[in-house]
């Protein structure tokens, strides 16, 4: 690993914290938004067991199937509606090949008008950091769209 960097992304989402958390741990929800660009999908190859010692395993692919990669996460800490922490290994992307697993930490906070998600991941090389940051920013945009379609206005 050439340089050890940490990815640090904070994102506001216009939905209650329990709704946002569910989008990260429910197979149908995650399938609907996880992955970069609209051209990537999780084609039925997803398994989530959201508990300490559990996992998230998935393969992403282009619609044409010309490109795919796998993400295998072992959860080390899960606190419902608050935190997901795990060790993650990515295969099939050049920036991650030969790299050891890295830690991904997602925290969920109530924030006026919705939820703030704080993501920290690393340590990672410069190439891993750039690829992961792009991936997460695009995925969060897809999550924004999903939440806008599935979260109604607050009745109060």
pTM of the model: 0.89
State yes or no: pLDDT of 155 exceeds 50: no
- Kindly list the domain boundaries of the chain, sorted by start residue: 5-150
pLDDT in tens, 47-89: 999 999 999 998 887 777 677 888 999 999 999 999 999 999 9
pLDDT for residue 52: 97
CATH code, 5-150 = 3.30.530.20
Question: Distance of CA 121 to CAs 69, 90, 112, Å?
Answer: 18, 13, 25
pLDDT for residue 143: 94
């Amino acid at each position: 690993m050439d340089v050890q960097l940490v990815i640090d992304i904070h994102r506001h989402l216009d939905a209650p914290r329990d709704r946002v958390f569910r989008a990260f741990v429910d197979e149908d929800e995650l399938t609907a938004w996880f992955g970069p660009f609209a051209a990537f999908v999780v084609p039925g190859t997803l398994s989530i067991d959201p508990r300490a010692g559990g996992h998230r395993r998935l393969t992403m692919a282009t619609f044409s199937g010309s490109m795919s990669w796998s993400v295998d996460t072992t959860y080390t800490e899960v606190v419902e509606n608050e935190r997901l922490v795990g060790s993650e290994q990515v295969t099939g992307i050049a920036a991650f090949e030969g790299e050891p697993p890295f830690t991904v930490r997602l925290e969920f906070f109530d924030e006026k008008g919705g939820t703030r998600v704080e993501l920290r991941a690393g340590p990672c090389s410069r190439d891993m950091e750039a690829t992961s940051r792009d991936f997460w920013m695009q995925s969060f945009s897809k999550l924004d769209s999903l939440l806008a379609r599935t979260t109604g206005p607050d009745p109060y």
